[in-house]
Amino acid sequence: MDTQTAYYLVAGALILIGLMGTVLPVLPGLPLMFGGMLLAAWAGDFTRIGGGTLTVLGLLVLVSIAVDVLASVVGAKRVGASNKALFGAGLGGLIGIFFGIPGLLAGPFLGAAAGEMADGREWRAASKVGLGTWVGLALGAALKLALAFTMLGVFAVALWWD
């Protein structure tokens, strides 16, 4: 197998792993996809995938990162979360990263609920805020999946369009 074929195989693997990462929160999905697409562009000497396409793909990755960061906060805000709950949701999401999928699912919920309780709300109201946070996270995952397929479409059009 020649070197260029090996690069394309690694690029394809990164794209597939990245696509899985859009639904498995442990993996940085869209950044991995972008890395695979960049490697494929490089392996092809940027003849089919050029700077313009890579810029669009990079912007989509930046949007996905913003979606990741804001998803739980927006969900919490929609159910009337306090500033402490918003902080708790963000902190819970960051801490949750270290506990795998259960931590990523429960962290923002628990962080928002804890922040709301620290703000003086009783546990039922705090749970509502935690649930709103979780719904925001689920919507964020759906948006990231849509962005991933958009990236695949942009990449495919650039690759095969003459």
pTM listed for this prediction = 0.74
Q: Name the band, by pLDDT with cuts 50, 70 and 90, for residue 26.
A: low
DSSP the chain: --HHHHHHHHHHHHHHHHHHHTTSTTS-HHHHHHHHHHHHHHHTTTSSS-HHHHHHHHHHHHHHHHHHHHHHHHHHHHTT--HHHHHHHHHHHHHHGGGHHHHHHHHHHHHHHHHHHHTT--HHHHHHHHHHHHHHHHHHHHHHHHHHHHHHHHHHHHHH--
Question: Structural domain of residue 134, as residue ranges?
Answer: 3-160
pLDDT of the residue at 47: 92
The b-or-e profile of 119-138 (16+ CB within 10 A means b, else e) is bebeeebbbbbbbbbbbbbe
Provide the residue type at 110 as one letter: L
Number of domains in the chain: 1
Q: pLDDT, tens digit, for every residue of 68-95? A: 777 766 776 778 888 888 888 778 878 8
- For the segment 2-15, what is each residue's pLDDT rounded down to a tens digit? 999 999 999 999 99
Q: What is the pLDDT of residue 42?
A: 96
5-9, 105-109, 128-132, 133-137 — most confident range: 5-9
pLDDT tens string 58-69: 999 999 888 877
Check whether 22 has a pLDDT greater than 90: no
Q: How many CA atoms lie within 13 A of 78 on its CB side?
A: 15
